Structure 1
């Protein structure tokens, strides 16, 4: 299995989280600079559209990008506090030319205590932009802030892959 992991705005995949993901497959982590590249979605699509990517996992701005890539590539995604409703400060172009293949399954983990990306704003976005062919599993974690602690990451990743039969 090939796992595409998209990090947040100014973060990287930590070694402990990488180790959790490596239990499920090969982890691919592109070094993305969202501030300098407003065409990140298109560039990642072009890079990975012909590769064997089985799932996409993204956090924050990486969750925003993963949401759009998963819906273009038609693959399952796990999103942690995705920046779906927020793009005012960082320009990211959602290409109108990308194919629409709708992800079959998305697990979306939101933090009730996240003051960077409010859970209610993500829920409003999803209510307006969800599609009828995707099975959404939305989890609001009462103790979760914007950063994803290793325990929550491990449990949610395990649940995601369990739903997929791994």
Structure 2
């Protein structure tokens, strides 16, 4: 029989599970799910296929739901419903619907920053696929030094100017 004795200078938090003498815990559901997501996202066929499938399902729901028709099945923006202001994402469903129907002007009218976001997402997806298929890292907008700050500034400014109560900014409301 062995007796586990604490190591001088070590605390119980240094031991696995926070208990001295405890064995490492088996991976939980979250750990297994994250490991599965990591394996799928790094697979050259399954990773892009999952993204394309998810995008197809979402776009099909938007196409069939027709957000340009009032009183449809798709939800109304909760920010607009509760606070009566246009959030930066307001009009995004209608913007995507208009893009799918080839009406670029209406898409920009519904959410101009959302159109820019779609372009950046497509660029990121193409770079992701090229990295998986060629093994080379492709530089995208996400790798630029101040891209996160720039995105936050653009979204914040879009939120502010979209809700200004005087012309020409009232035309940005949806």
TM-score norm. by structure 1 comes to: 0.29
Bigger Rg, structure 1 or 2:
2
More strand by share: 1
TM-score norm. by structure 2 comes to: 0.28
More helix by share: 2
